[in-house]
């Protein structure tokens, strides 16, 4: 299962196509729209979120709420298109008063995209490099999320830190398995700790006052996975490489950790590796989850725990220095309508990316034609594992 997206930030709409979808999967339009709303939420979001109220329109692959087994296509309309129709028209001549973007922003794709594509307008780059594209990803993820949910797999995320304001967790990996989605979503920064939520909001308020931006860290947790999904034979088979690539595909993500992550490099092996135990009911399990639910590129059956770091947004209301592409003289970088902090939204987008990787891995292991056969294969696999541990 994989997705493709098309469309620009200020074009008429964003399009997503999901292929590799089994037949008979129940899909909820309301749930997709709820995830789109979660992506738009969060303290510190900018003016664009007041314009857009994202909803999905499915244009193929679903009939009466169930997938047909063909590619699923969907669109998310850009309400701001009406203000950009002349400047972003697909055909015709540019308007006489068209303002080109010639002052690339440090930290953004502007300059390198201009050099790569031999254009003289950063607008041709930033329209697609914009995080607005991720709305299509979140809409598309409604398919793998529903697929995983039918198999008993839950994907959630929460924010750990924004700037220097952070949650305090004695054992983050163990705690990740018990946070409740409601506690997360009731927080304006999607953090399950009320004290940390207040501190994060204060940090964002300070950044707004300073006309600056903030990044942070978040965690994606997946519960209900069976052991042995993924692969070990080649680098591409390993879920570690697939999940890392997927999360790093999100704009502004600069680092990914699994389980203990970089902390494991500071400890001896006896303090890192999870001892194998045998539970009469669950079968083979582990004495801990330092590995974060992955070992040898495969799921262990314990919660998958991924931590990611997001850099501050590149668009600043107090711009950094740059070079004017026309004059080649020093200038101030351009300003786009932007967020001060989008870490809560990035976590939702990471859920989408993780869901696609895991759904594809399940399809590879348990079949891909229809939900009846896939569910039967999962049940048989679980039964075999129970038998093998006796």
Domain assignment of residue 304, given as a range: 2-388
- Cα-atom radius of gyration of the chain, to the nearest Å? 22
Q: How many CB atoms lie within 10 A of CB 267?
A: 12
pLDDT tens per residue across span 303-352: 999 999 999 999 999 999 999 999 999 999 998 777 899 999 999 999 99
Q: Is the pLDDT of residue 56 over 70?
A: yes
Residue 135 CB neighbour total at 10 angstroms? 26
* Whether the predicted pLDDT of 390 surpasses 80: no
Q: What pairs with residue 16 in β-bridges? A: 5, 74
- The answer to whether the beta carbons of residues 163 and 205 sit under 8 Å apart is no
pLDDT, tens only, 243-268: 999 999 999 999 999 999 999 999 99
Which residue in 81, 72, 91 sits closest to 20, CA to CA?
72
Q: Would you give the end-to-end CA distance of the chain in angstroms?
A: 35
Joined together, the tokens standing for residue 35 give: 């995830």
Q: Which of 157, 258, 265, 174 is nearest to 216 (CA)?
A: 157
C-alpha closest to that of 193 among 227, 161, 150:
161
Q: What is the pLDDT of residue 331?
A: 97
Q: What is the average per-residue pLDDT within 190-206? A: 97
Q: For residue 39, is pLDDT > 80?
A: yes
* HEC letters along 183-198: HHHCCCCCCCCHHHHH
Q: What is the C-alpha to C-alpha distance for residues 179 and 162, in angstroms, rounded to an integer?
A: 19
Q: What pLDDT does 190 receive?
A: 97
Task: Output the average pLDDT for the chain.
Answer: 94
Residue 98 banded pLDDT, cuts 50, 70, 90? very high
Q: Is the pLDDT of residue 96 over 70?
A: yes
pTM listed for this prediction: 0.94
Task: Give the model's pLDDT for residue 51.
Answer: 59
SS3 149: helix
H or E stretch covering 129: helix 123-129
Digit-coded pLDDT (tens) for 120-139: 999 999 999 999 999 999 99
Query: Does residue 331 contact residue 324 with C-beta atoms inside 8 Å?
Result: yes
Q: Report the candidate in 361, 51, 38, 50 with the shortest Cα–Cα distance to residue 218.
A: 38
> For residue 129, what are its two tokens?
């490099």
* Low-confidence winner among 35-49, 59-73, 193-207, 253-267 (lowest mean pLDDT): 35-49
How far is the C-alpha of 368 from the C-alpha of 360, rounded, in Å? 9
CB 250 within 8 A of CB 349: yes
Residue closest to 225 by CA, chosen among 89, 351, 358: 358
Q: How many domains does the chain have?
A: 1
How open is the CA angle 368-370-375, to the nearest 5 degrees? 90
What is the CATH classification number for the domain harbouring 100? 3.60.150.10
């Amino acid at each position: 299962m994989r997705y493709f997206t098309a469309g620009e930030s200020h074009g008429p709409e964003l399009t997503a196509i999901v292929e590799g979808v089994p037949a008979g999967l129940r899909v909820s339009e309301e749930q997709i729209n709820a995830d789109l709303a979660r992506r738009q939420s969060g303290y510190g979001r900018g003016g664009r979120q007041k314009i857009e109220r994202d909803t999905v329109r499915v244009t193929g692959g679903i009939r009466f709420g169930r997938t047909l087994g063909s590619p699923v296509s969907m669109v998310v309309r850009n309400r701001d298109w009406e203000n950009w129709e002349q400047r972003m028209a697909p055909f015709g001549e540019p308007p006489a008063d068209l303002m080109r973007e010639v002052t690339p922003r440090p930290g953004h794709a502007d300059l390198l995209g201009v050099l790569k594509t031999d254009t003289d307008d950063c607008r041709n780059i930033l329209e697609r490099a914009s995080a607005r594209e991720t709305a299509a990803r979140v809409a598309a993820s409604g398919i793998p999320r529903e697929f995983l949910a039918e198999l008993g797999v839950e994907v959630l995320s929460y924010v750990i830190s924004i700037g220097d304001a952070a949650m305090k967790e004695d054992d983050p990996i163990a705690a990740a398995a018990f946070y409740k989605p409601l506690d997360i979503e009731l927080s304006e920064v999607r953090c399950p700790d009320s004290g940390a939520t207040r501190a994060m909001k204060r940090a964002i308020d300070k950044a707004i006052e300073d006309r600056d931006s903030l990044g942070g860290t978040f965690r994606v947790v997946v519960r209900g996975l069976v052991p042995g999904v993924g692969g070990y034979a080649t680098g591409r088979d390993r879920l570690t490489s697939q999940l890392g690539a997927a999360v790093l595909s999100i704009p502004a993500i600069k680092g990914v950790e699994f389980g203990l992550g970089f902390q494991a490099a500071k400890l001896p092996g006896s303090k890192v590796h999870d001892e194998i135990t045998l539970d009469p009911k669950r079968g083979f399990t582990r004495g801990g989850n330092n590995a974060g639910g992955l070992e040898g590129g495969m799921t262990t059956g314990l919660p998958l725990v991924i931590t990611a770091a997001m850099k501050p947004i590149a668009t600043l209301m107090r711009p950094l220095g740059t070079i004017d592409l026309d004059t080649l003289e020093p200038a101030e970088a351009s300003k786009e309508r932007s967020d001060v902090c989008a870490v809560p939204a990035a976590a939702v987008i990471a859920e989408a990316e993780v869901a696609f990787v895991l759904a594809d891995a399940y399809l590879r292991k348990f079949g891909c034609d229809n939900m009846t056969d896939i569910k039967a294969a999962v049940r048989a696999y679980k039964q075999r594992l129970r038998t093998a541990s006796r």
